[in-house]
């Protein structure tokens, strides 16, 4: 099969690595990709949101399947565009319809959906400019802390956890009246704070059938001990020891099944991955959020644990045959450490030469996935983003996987490189 993969992060390098390792992949193109995908596939300089250019490319290059990595093209309707295309409507596109992508694109939509289909989540109300005063009154009745969420996509910054009523009232004003997040905060969801430990569960679906992939835990803050600013993700661990069979069964019964059935009842086409951000409160799952794609860096820890053919999985999703796909996963542990540019998630420089890297590098102990990297005209690999590399260590347990990830991380450097040294420590402390 000729496959076109969209995106340019560590997640997409991990997808590319799985796809090219399948005997069912003839040729893989990545739009636009990074230096890592360039070493195993063919990068093409097309934006994932330039649907017309992607369609022309697909026709010229006899593309058999498109895999969408990030949420932006999905929220902008890439799947509907191809489904309605005069010649490409049969091309499987792995990623939900624009209506389905609202599960991530609109917090208000996803909360209404969860309420309608009895998916456990935090109690909430939604407010607009017109109902600002009611919003203030609602805040005053809430116990602390109070969670405020911009309705739309806000580059991961749209969630505020307010420790006082005054702070929540000021934040509501900034969001609704001063357009703090532009149009994304025209509506604001105010919700109850959930206690517990977070984890992410990933589901592959063809719209009717589903497979639950290995779960992962993400490390969102820049600083060790989960301090400092939020980032796209600084590390990941899979599996998560407290997500035992009993817990995952609850997630399946209370969240996965009602979600897939709800989408069907609403006539919302959903072929793709669903990322369920959960809080485990005393053994019970509560949904924090849905994302309509795989997580980054969770994908870099989850995909190496999938043993069955990955292209077959994607094709089964795209052709409604997921019930006949046998998902096989490995029992080992993967831990991912993200190496970022100095200054990230604030201002940072690009174009730093990365030393100690072999672009083809992967062993039984570790794999180096590229995120923000590019190849210079003279063939050097340069930093090209905030999150630069995602290094996954594999092992029999968390400790050995971490040792392999950190050993590899220590071999790579550039001016300003930073990474957290405490990925997985909280889990190690918990299971001690
Ligand atoms: P999101 O942008 O929806 O991923 O939210 C960012 C982070 O805010 C989540 O990963 C949680 O750590 C936290 N968060 C969001 N909603 C809640 C909630 N209702 N209770 C506690 N923490 C939350
Ligand atoms: N790592 C969190 C996300 O991909 O949204």
Residue 260 reports pLDDT greater than 70:
yes
Average pLDDT over residues 275-298: 97
Average pLDDT over residues 208-232: 96
Domains of the chain (ranges; CATH) run 2-96 (3.40.50.20), 123-192 (3.30.1490.20)
pLDDT in tens, 193-206: 999 999 999 999 99
Rounded CA-CA distance 268/151 in Å is: 20
Q: What helix, strand, coil percent values describe the chain, rounded to 5?
A: 35, 30, 40
State the distance from the centre of ligand 2 to the C-alpha of 293, rounded, in angstroms: 9
Residue 360 has a pLDDT of: 59
Residue 59 reports pLDDT greater than 60:
yes
Ligand 1 touching residue 298 (CB < 6 A)? no
Residue 363 reports pLDDT greater than 90:
no
Cα–Cα–Cα angle for 269, 121, 93, rounded to 5 degrees? 20
356 token code pair: 């100690």
- Portion of the chain with pLDDT greater than 90, in percent: 95
Average pLDDT over residues 232-250: 96
Residue 364 has a pLDDT of: 86
Q: Locate the ligand 1 atom nearest the alpha carbon of residue 193 and give its number.
A: 20
314 token code pair: 């994607």
* Ligand 2, atom 4, residue with closest C-alpha: 295
Write out the DSSP string of 312-344. Answer: HHHHHHHTT-GGG----B-SSEEEEEEEE-TTT
State the distance from the centre of ligand 2 to the C-alpha of 61, rounded, in angstroms: 31
Residue 87 has a pLDDT of: 96
Residue 155 has a pLDDT of: 79
- Whole-model pTM? 0.96
Rounded CA-CA distance 287/111 in Å is: 10
Residue 359 has a pLDDT of: 56
Residue 431 burial (CB < 10 Å; 0-12/13-18/19+)? exposed
Residue 224 reports pLDDT greater than 60:
yes
Instruction: Place 358 in a pLDDT band, splitting at 50, 70 and 90.
Output: confident
Instruction: Place 285 in a pLDDT band, splitting at 50, 70 and 90.
Output: very high
Q: How many CB atoms lie within 10 A of CB 122?
A: 18
Contact 177, 170 (CB under 8 A): no
State the distance from the centre of ligand 1 to the C-alpha of 221, rounded, in angstroms: 12
State the distance from the centre of ligand 2 to the C-alpha of 269, rounded, in angstroms: 23
Ligand 1 touching residue 159 (CB < 6 A)? yes
Report the mean per-residue pLDDT for the chain: 96
Average pLDDT over residues 254-261: 98
Of all helices (H) and strands (E), which one includes residue 195?
A: none
Residue 388 has a pLDDT of: 98
Residue 361 has a pLDDT of: 63
Residue 315 has a pLDDT of: 98
Which residues' Cβ are closer than 6 Å to ligand 2? Answer: 218, 233, 291, 295-296, 298
pLDDT in tens, 61-80: 999 999 999 999 999 999 99
Q: Which ligand is nearest to the CA of 277?
A: 1
Average pLDDT over residues 101-109: 97
pLDDT in tens, 111-141: 999 999 999 999 999 999 999 999 999 999 9
Q: Locate the ligand 1 atom nearest the alpha carbon of residue 156 and give its number.
A: 2
Q: Which ligand is nearest to the CA of 336?
A: 2
Average pLDDT over residues 156-167: 92
pLDDT in tens, 6-29: 999 999 999 999 999 999 999 999
Contact 288, 198 (CB under 8 A): yes
Instruction: Place 431 in a pLDDT band, splitting at 50, 70 and 90.
Output: confident
Residue 412 reports pLDDT greater than 80:
yes
Contact 56, 81 (CB under 8 A): no
* Ligand 2, atom 2, residue with closest C-alpha: 295
pLDDT in tens, 370-392: 999 999 999 999 999 999 999 99
Residue 357 reports pLDDT greater than 80:
yes
């Amino acid at each position: 099969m000729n496959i076109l993969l969209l995106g340019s992060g560590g997640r997409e390098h991990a997808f590319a690595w799985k796809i090219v390792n399948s005997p069912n992949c003839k040729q893989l193109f990545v739009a636009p990709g990074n230096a890592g995908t360039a070493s195993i596939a063919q990068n093409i300089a097309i934006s994932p949101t330039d649907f017309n250019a992607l369609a022309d490319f697909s026709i010229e290059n006899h593309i058999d399947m498109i895999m969408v990595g990030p949420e932006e093209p999905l929220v902008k309707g890439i799947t509907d565009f191809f489904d309605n295309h005069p010649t490409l409507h049969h091309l499987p596109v792995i990623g939900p319809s624009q209506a389905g992508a609202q599960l991530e694109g609109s917090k208000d939509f996803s909360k209404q959906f969860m309420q309608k289909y009895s998916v456990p989540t935090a109690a909430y109300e939604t407010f607009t400019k017109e109902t600002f005063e009611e919003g203030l009154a609602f805040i005053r009745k809430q116990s602390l802390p109070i969670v405020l969420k911009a309705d739309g996509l806000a580059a991961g910054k749209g969630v505020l956890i307010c420790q006082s009523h005054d702070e929540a009232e000021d934040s509501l004003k900034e969001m609704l009246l001063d357009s703090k997040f532009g149009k994304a905060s025209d509506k604001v969801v105010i919700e109850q704070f959930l206690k517990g430990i977070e984890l992410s569960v990933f589901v592959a679906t063809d719209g009717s059938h589903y497979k639950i992939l290995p779960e992962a835990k993400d490390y969102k803050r820049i600083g060790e001990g989960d301090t400092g600013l939020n980032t796209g993700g600084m590390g990941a661990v899979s599996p998560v020891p407290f997500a035992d069979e009993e817990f995952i069964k609850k997630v399946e019964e209370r969240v996965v099944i009602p979600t897939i059935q709800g989408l069907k009842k609403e006539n919302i086409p959903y072929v793709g991955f669903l990322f369920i951000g959960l809080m485990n409160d005393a053994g019970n799952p509560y949904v924090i959020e849905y994302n309509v794609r795989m997580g980054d860096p969770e994908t870099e820890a989850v995909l190496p644990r999938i043993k069955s053919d990955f292209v077959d999985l994607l094709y089964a999703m795209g052709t409604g045959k997921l019930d006949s796909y046998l998902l096989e996963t490995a029992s080992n542990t993967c831990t991912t450490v993200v190496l970022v540019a100095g200054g990230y998630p604030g201002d940072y420089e690009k174009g730093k030469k990365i030393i100690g890297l072999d672009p083809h590098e992967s062993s039984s102990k570790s794999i180096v996935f590229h995120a923000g990297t590019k190849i210079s005209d003279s063939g050097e690999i340069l930093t090209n983003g905030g999150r630069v590399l995602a290094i996954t260590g594999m092992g029999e347990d968390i400790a050995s996987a971490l040792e392999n990830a950190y050993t590899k991380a220590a071999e790579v450097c550039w001016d300003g490189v930073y990474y957290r040294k405490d990925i997985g420590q909280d889990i190690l402390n918990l299971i001690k």
